[in-house]
Structures are given as structure tokens and as C-alpha cells.
Amino acid sequence: MQIFHRSTNTISRVSLFGAVFFVGLSLWIFYDLEASPWTTQQNVAREQPVQFSHAHHAGAIGIDCRYCHTSVEKAAFAGIPPTKTCMNCHSQIWAQSPYLEPVRESFRTDKSLEWTRVHDLPDFVYFNHAIHVNKGIGCESCHGRIDQMPLVYQAARLQMSWCLDCHRHPEKQIRPKDQVFTMGYVPPVDQATLGPELVQRYHLRSRAVLESCSTCHR
């Protein structure tokens, strides 16, 4: 006697396969979502209190990064310029521009401008700008073509696997120290030989040290 209909065979096969497929799909969705700009905020330009354009200041005019980000070579934090830095120029040029009213207001009232943080690492990560800049890692390697961004967005994923890619293979990203602040640096064709050479010359720590958890987490 036949209890089950013939189609049961198909249904059971499909559901078995379907279960595996479903689990795989959920994992894939989860993984993809986790690495997506929805989570990482990659490539999302942020609204700022002043319509400050890096493309204009760093790109078109060519102001050095360090004119504003003064502590990038000596401290963990690169530094966000005080209002005074803006007013160095803008008390003379564009002094009446309505776009710059928030800046003048801040200077007048002694109240800080409140910028939205674009590159925000979790609080248990202790990133240090000085050591990267001094070991031949260019601004561009993490921040992208800032000189072409009217509004700054986060160019890289900034997730741990992305950090580790470079901590494991710094020779692929390292550049001569005099090129650290260059935007649009093109690695030479012999990066494969130059990279390891620079790693040696700049005394980068061994991979084991760069990979150790306490290098970034405290």
C-alpha cells in the first residue's frame, strides 16, 4: 500500500536541498550585509555644518594636508583644525560669503563647529596616525583621493580584515616617505622589489608583531 503520493519524493529532495540552500543564503546575506556600505558607511558622503570642499582646498588650491591636520606626524589623532585655522585665510578672502557664516559665527561666539566624523573606528581600536605616516603609508592608502572629494566620504571598508591585509603585506602599500602626502601616487612598476626594500629601510616590525592583537587593541 502506498501512503505517500509520488510527488513526496520530489518534495523531500527539494526541501533537503532547500534547507542547505536556505542556510547558505542566510549566511551569504549576513556576510554581505555586514561588509556592505549599509554597515560600514563606505562611500557615503556625510553632511557637514560647513560645505567645506577638500576637492577645492587640497585638490585645486593644493594646500598641504598638514596645514590643517597638524598632528598627523606626531600623534595618534591627525587633528581637526580649530576655527582659527579657517579664519587665517577667510578673514581676508571670501570674508563675506554666506557659506562661511557658520565659521565666522563660531569665531565670534567662541563655540566650536561640530563636524560629523567620517572615519570612525570602534572604541576598542587604537589607531595611530603618526606611526603609519612615518613608516611610509600614504594618506591616500586609507582615505582615498581626498583631493577629488567635494564632501568627504569613507573610501575604504575600515574593517579588521582590511586592516590586516596591509599589516600582513605592508610591502604592497608602502611608498617612499616623501610621497606619503602625495595624492594620485602611482606605485612604480617594480613595487614588488621596492616594497620589501622600503619595509627593510623603514624598519617595519615583523608580521608577527603587526598581527598581534595588542598592536591595535588595548
Q: Which residues bind other proteins (CB under 8 A)?
A: 38-39, 41, 46, 71, 74-77, 79-84, 106-107, 110-117, 120, 122-124, 126, 128, 130-131, 134-135, 203, 205-206, 208-209, 211-215, 217-218
CA distances from 93 to 100, 107, 164 (A): 11, 16, 44
Exposure letters 45-76 (e unless 16+ CB within 10 A, then b): eeeeeeebebbebbbeeeeebeebbbebeeee
Retrieve residue 88's grid coordinates: 587665517
C-alpha–C-alpha distance, residues 4 and 1, integer Å = 9
Residue closer to other proteins, measured from CB, 11 or 23: 23
Residue closer to other proteins, measured from CB, 179 or 215: 215
Residue closer to other proteins, measured from CB, 7 or 206: 206
Contacts 24+ apart (CB under 8 A), 32-41: 35/157, 35/159, 40/154, 40/157, 40/158, 40/159, 41/120, 41/154
The per-residue DSSP string of 149-184 comes to -SS--B-S---HHHHHHHHH-GGGT---GGGTT-SS
Asked if residue 210 lies in contact with residue 167, where contact means CB atoms within 8 angstroms, the answer is yes
Residue closer to other proteins, measured from CB, 13 or 217: 217
Q: Measured from the CB of residue 90, what is the shortest distance to other proteins in angstroms?
A: 14
Enumerate the β-bridge partners of residue 154. 42
Residue closer to other proteins, measured from CB, 79 or 196: 79
184 phi and psi angles, rounded to 5 deg: 80, 25
Q: Measured from the CB of residue 32, what is the shortest distance to other proteins in angstroms?
A: 13
Residue closer to other proteins, measured from CB, 16 or 44: 44
